[in-house]
Amino acid sequence: MKMRAAVLEEFAKPLQVTELDLAEPKPGEVLVRLAACGVCHTDMYTASGVDPSGYAPTVLGHEGAGFVEKVGEGVSSVSPGDLVVTLFSPQCRECVHCVSPDTNLCLAIRDQQNQGYLPDGTTRLSRDGDPIRHFMGTSTFAEYTVMPEIALAKVSPEAEPDHACLFACGLSTGLGAAMNTAKVKAGSTCVVFGAGMVGLGAVAGCRLQGAERIICVDLSQDRLELAKGQGATETWVGDENTVQRVLDETGGFGADYTFEATGLVAVMRQAVESARMGWGLCTIAGVAGRGETLDVVPRYLITGRRICGSSFGGVKGRDQVPQLVQLYLDGQIDVDPFISHQITLDEVNHGFELMERQDGIRSVITFA
Ligand SMILES: NC(=O)c1ccc[n+]([C@@H]2O[C@H](COP(=O)([O-])OP(=O)(O)OC[C@H]3O[C@@H](n4cnc5c(N)ncnc54)[C@H](O)[C@@H]3O)[C@@H](O)[C@H]2O)c1
Ligand SMILES: [Zn+2]
Ligand SMILES: [Zn+2]
């Protein structure tokens, strides 16, 4: 079939919205008609050419929600008409990681996905007979996409697609960092560094876990206002004295849980040093620049602080994204404030500009 998609033709150039060919879903694959897709930093990072593993041409986009249009042979977990959220982090339910409760890093299709292919090593995207590689296994800056069944989470049909799509990346990452990775305990004190989509999700996750104090630290007053809406009990403008301030406010000990959602290694260090002596857990969700390292004074660890990383919030996508979406439908997560701009596929480059200016949390592409 023919469909329109935003193609990264060349690094550091605007995406081109053009017509491409999309082949039928093969066994185990699903054709999805996109209804909404968030514009995320990872898309812009790859488009910029800075990402060493990036390639072009490709169709970007990974925060998608849409409707199943057609299923390939053997597909049983979704059927035409289902509302699905796309998962760049799939869940095959069979690999050694999927059967472990301790990780969400499914191994089933990693290698092919990283190279831009569907699990059988080919692409469904092409133009004039030339294959075009997929991106993050999703390629959702497009009217349609073909994805493996194991990378689709079937969510409640009551969810609004433009809300549901946010659970495909940043929001689930933040919620999951607090709820799955750190497993924040009720009554605890939490500090969240960063109030973008991920940090705001972490604030909401800490609230849902029953944390007593949730301190959100950012540089932007506007974003700190949004953090209050998600349950932050205190908001601070960050600076080099933030660690000392956390210690001063916690009887000299530090916070039970800290979260880093900025991607800056200096802030990661602050998050480690703000964690409580004895049992403080620092969860790192931000993605640092290539080659950057995190400086940690070992004494912080000997005295009982722990550090862990969290990819997609430790969320096992097919099982847990539907549960997180249900929390929003039940009124427990206020998703509206995250949707700052509604744009069309043709305006995708404008979405990048808005992100560069830090104008709002998310621009969401909605498809007619
Ligand atoms: N682990 C994962 O699976 C995963 C998934 C999505 C995104 N991420 C990463 O998470 C990070 C956050 O993503 P996002 O979409 O929320 O980004 P964002 O850019 O919207 O938010 C980052 C926030 O950090 C704030 N900030 C900058 N410097 C700061 C400082 N010194 N102290 C406190 N706050 C500061 C900014 O003002 C901004 O609000 C990024 O590194 C992103 O790549 C990770
Ligand atoms: Zn993303
Ligand atoms: Zn798996």
- Cβ(309)–Cβ(284) under 8 Å? yes
Residue 359: strand pairing partners? none
pLDDT digits (tens, 9 = 90+) for 47-99: 999 888 899 999 999 999 999 999 999 999 999 999 999 999 999 999 999 99
- Residue with the smallest CA separation from ligand 1 atom 27 is 262
247 pLDDT more than 90: yes
In this predicted structure, what is the pLDDT of residue 368? Answer: 78
pLDDT digits (tens, 9 = 90+) for 255-301: 999 999 999 999 999 999 999 999 999 999 999 988 999 999 999 99
Task: State pTM to two decimals.
Answer: 0.97
Reply yes or no on whether 133 is catalytic: no
In this predicted structure, what is the pLDDT of residue 290? Answer: 85
Q: Residues with Cβ < 8 Å from 129, sequence gap 6 or more?
A: none
Lining ligand 1 with CB less than 6 A are 41, 169-170, 173, 193-199, 217-220, 223, 238, 261-264, 267, 285-287, 310-312
Quick check: helix, strand or coil at residue 219? Answer: coil
- Concatenate the DSSP letters of all residues of 268-318 into one string: HHHHHHTBPTTT-EEEE---PPTT------THHHHTT-EEEE-SGGG--HH
Cis geometry, peptide bond prior to residue 57 (ω within 30 degrees of 0):
yes
Which of these is catalytic: 29, 37, 98, 138?
98
Distance in Å, CA 73 to ligand 1 centroid: 40
Distance in Å, CA 245 to ligand 2 centroid: 31
- Residue with the smallest CA separation from ligand 1 atom 6 is 170
Across 324-340, average pLDDT: 97
Distance in Å, CA 312 to ligand 2 centroid: 9
- Concatenate the DSSP letters of all residues of 40-76 into one string: -HHHHHHHHT--TT--SSEE---EEEEEEEEE-TT--
